[in-house]
Structure 1
């Protein structure tokens, strides 16, 4: 009898604890379908989900959907992503201090399976006469310039000449370095999510 009573008390306390924990959840905005970087966010791109309330994570409450619709995605958004203010930009793209650039790259100049949203290191090799990359043996210790970028898109159809067109978002200050690169003088390497 005493054991049965104790079991009932434990169950009631467990239920009460679970109810309190569930009460800490709030309705927030999430991505319902893929949105490319720079694309305007539409109401159909959003959905509401329940998420744990955490003061360290600035999720956008579901009630603020109207403030998000019409703004742009700062980076490519995939379905299921919980929206935070840092993922949503102004109506203008690219954001201030950033540029978007497209490169025609041959196989071997970018990692296989590269996709939108990936962070990459862009290595620009020094150029020699005739706008050709300087061979490593004669570069006299000159290392390629390393730039950080985010992939905005990968067009496998490419330029019709066997190249894949990769569009990048990078710092505006890196634009001249990338623009001065020779054909074949650019190499992309995918980096970890936190790296650059």
Structure 2
């Protein structure tokens, strides 16, 4: 009888510990809508959700949501994602290995509605039949002549409206964040006005 009582007590203690462990949960932030790279959370695209605190993930507590609003997403985040700290960075910071490049795009070289946070591919366009600069193009522009894709994925930091101060006001100034390895070819094409961007999956 004493042994039976002891077994019952041990079982009850184990069940209590399991309940206590299961109750070790925290209130975290979950996305209720997709967030593009460079965008921030708002009251309208987040909700509170309970998560296991001992999972090892660096969940952002619900109580820290106001501070998180001051940061921006490093990449596109999708609805249903429970937010962890590594997903966001300071708006003034630049990810290592990245650089920002400014380009001026003519009508037809960008999609309508281009906006900050959009993911785009960058192509080199223009007249390839120029004879006088053939040697120069062959030496430095194989990506432009033989492979028109300059940047597989870039993030639009800003897409300003055209000003009316000059004849060139029809151009759209766009700032792109790209890998540093893509900068030389991109700036060369941009200086010649031979850059076009297209929206790609991930927006």
Scaled by the length of structure 2, the TM-score of the pair is 0.56
State whether residues 28 and 51 of structure 2, in contact with CA within 8 Å, keep that contact through their aligned partners in structure 1: no
- Distance in 2, Cα, partners of 1:159 & 1:102: 19
For residue 36 of structure 1, report the CA deviation from its aligned partner: 9.1
Look up the SS of the partner of 1:156 in the other structure.
Answer: coil
Offset of 1:74 from its aligned partner?
3.4
Deviations 1:74-94 (A, max 9, x none): 3699xxx97443431257522
2:181 is the counterpart of 1:183: no
Q: Confirm or deny that 1:124 pairs with 2:160.
A: no
Is the Cα–Cα contact under 8 Å of residues 157 and 164 in structure 1 kept in the other structure?
Answer: yes
Kindly report the root-mean-square deviation, in angstroms, between the aligned alpha carbons of the 2 structures.
Answer: 4.4
Indicate conservation of the 8 Å contact 1:30/1:46, yes or no. Answer: no
Q: Distance in 2 between matches of 1:97 and 1:113?
A: 28
Q: In structure 2, what is the Cα distance between the partners aligned to 1:169 and 1:35?
A: 14
Instruction: Quote the Cα distance in structure 1 between the aligned partners of 2:133 and 2:164.
Output: 23
- The equivalences for 1:156-167 within 5 A come to 156-158=161-163, 160=165, 161-167=169-175
Conserved in 2, the CA contact under 8 Å of 1:123 and 1:186? yes
> What is the number of residues matched between the two proteins?
155
Aligned-partner SS, 2:114: coil
Map of 1:99 onto structure 2: 99
Q: Report how far residue 151 of structure 1 moved.
A: 1.1
Structure 2 residue aligned with 1:5: none
Q: 2:146 aligns with which of 139, 142, 148?
A: 142
Residue matched to 1:153: 158
Separation in 1, partners of 2:69, 2:109: 37
Residue matched to 1:50: 48
Larger Cα-atom Rg: 2
Kindly state the Cα deviation for residue 72 of structure 1 after the two structures are TM-superposed: 5.3
